[in-house]
Structure 1
Amino acid sequence: MPNNPPDISDHGYDRPSKSQVKRDMLALQDLGRQLVDLSPDQLKQLPLAEKLFDAVRAAQRITSREGRRRQIHYVGKLMRDADADAIRRQLDIWENGSREQTQAMHRLEALRDLLLRDDDALTQLLDDYPGADVQHLRALIREGRKEARANEALQAGQAPQRKHYRALFQALKSLDADTEQE
């Protein structure tokens, strides 16, 4: 009868180590703690079982430190049955989505400033957005430039006018949103 030595790489175990199980459970508790910090509207958007949703809402209402800690521990226990990957993906979208929106707003602000400085920028914009309302954009740019000249002549302490400046930004924002929907 041949004596096969056990494979050294797995030490004869066919399950995760106790340390790995504990790390996984702590990760689920941390995820549960993140859920407790969310608003009720955000919680409703996540794929949570009713029991888990109720436990998270209960943890949000608890003010006692020890009671809250125990409730978060219970939320972590309930997280074993939840789709943690889907929850993490949604949390990541909420966190990183705001960065993308901020970058888009900065890009539109830079485009607005360029349009107010340079006539050729409108030609480039119309090449990028062929469905844009040319007359409306020209009127906003013209009024925005007048507004800027008037603001330069203001005395100290007078509030600058920003009506057309903001209107041009909103027009660019809606133009960008219309393009994304197509």
Structure 2
Amino acid sequence: MARKNQKAPWEPEEEIIWVSKSEMKRDMEALQKLGVELVDLSSSTLKKMPLSEDLLDAVLDAQRFKNEARRRQLQRIGKLMQFEDAEQIQAALDKIRNKHSQNTAVLHKLEQLRDRVVEQGDAAIDQVMELYPEADRQRLRQLARQAAKEKSSNKPPRAFREIFQILKQLNDEAL
């Protein structure tokens, strides 16, 4: 006669995964931190995120609350996050952050191009014309000369800034 607690040898054993209480707390804290990041976003950005209606309402409420009510609301958001796809939300947040860093990198490249236009003159303007054929070569030359003159006489860099604005506008139109 077989024992009650023993399985028959032909039945496969199920693997039991034990999760410690500390690990569960760490997971919950990670979800709460993700919720805090959501609360810091603007409402227009939040509406683009893959959030359920309940979670979106909770996040919008947390943005209005102060002190203890905010802390409790953040805990509630952490609990609601258990039923959401945290990886998908994290991916959307990363995409938003990366978009900001990409814009910063583009602006740095435009600043470097502007510096070359002022320092090198026609050689750099030719590069600009290759990148942006619709650019006004004559206006760029004029501004480059003015910027060099302003720099040598320690005047405010008005032409220098105008070159950057022109390059930024050309870049925006090219996109």
Q: Structure 1 residue aligned with 2:130, among 102, 127, 140?
A: 127
- Cα deviation, residue 111, structure 1: 1.2
CA distance in 1, matches of 2:156, 2:140: 19
TM-score w.r.t. the length of structure 1 is 0.74
Distance 1:172 1:30, change over 3 A: same
Once the two structures are superposed, residues 120-161 of structure 1 have per-residue CA deviations (whole angstroms, 9 ceiling, x without a partner) of 11222223333322222222222222322332xxxxxxxx32
Tell me, yes or no, if structure 1 residue 105 matches structure 2 residue 107: yes
Q: 2:82 aligns with which of 77, 80, 83?
A: 80
Structure 1 contact 6–12 (Cα < 8 Å) conserved: no
Question: Residues 64 and 177 from structure 1, CA distance in 2 versus in 1: closer, same or farther, beyond 3 angstroms?
Answer: closer
Given that residues 147 and 162 in structure 1 are in contact (C-alpha distance below 8 angstroms), is that contact kept between their aligned partners in structure 2? yes
CA root-mean-square deviation:
2.8
Q: How many residues align?
A: 165
Aligned to 1:169: 164
Measured after TM superposition, the shift of residue 169 of structure 1 is 0.3
SS in 2 for 1:100: helix
Correspondent of 2:147 among 141, 144, 148? 144
Q: Give the C-alpha shift of residue 24 in structure 1.
A: 4.1
Q: Normalising by structure 2, what TM-score?
A: 0.76
SS of aligned partner of 1:18: coil
**Separation in 2, partners of 1:43, 1:70:** 20
- Residue type of the alignment partner of 1:87: I
Which residue does 1:157 correspond to in 2? Answer: none
1:12 aligns with 2:15: yes
- 1:51 and 2:54 equivalent? yes
* 2:32 corresponds to: 29
Counterpart-to-counterpart distance in 2, 1:138 and 1:81? 60
Q: Which amino acid aligns with 1:31?
A: L
Equivalents in 2 of 1:43, 1:60: separation in Å? Answer: 11
Structure 2 SS opposite 1:46: coil
Distance 1:136 1:128 in 2: 16
Counterpart-to-counterpart distance in 1, 2:131 and 2:70? 54
SS of the aligned residue for 1:81 comes to: coil
CA 1:147 to 1:94, structure 2 compared with 1: closer, same or farther past 3 Å? same
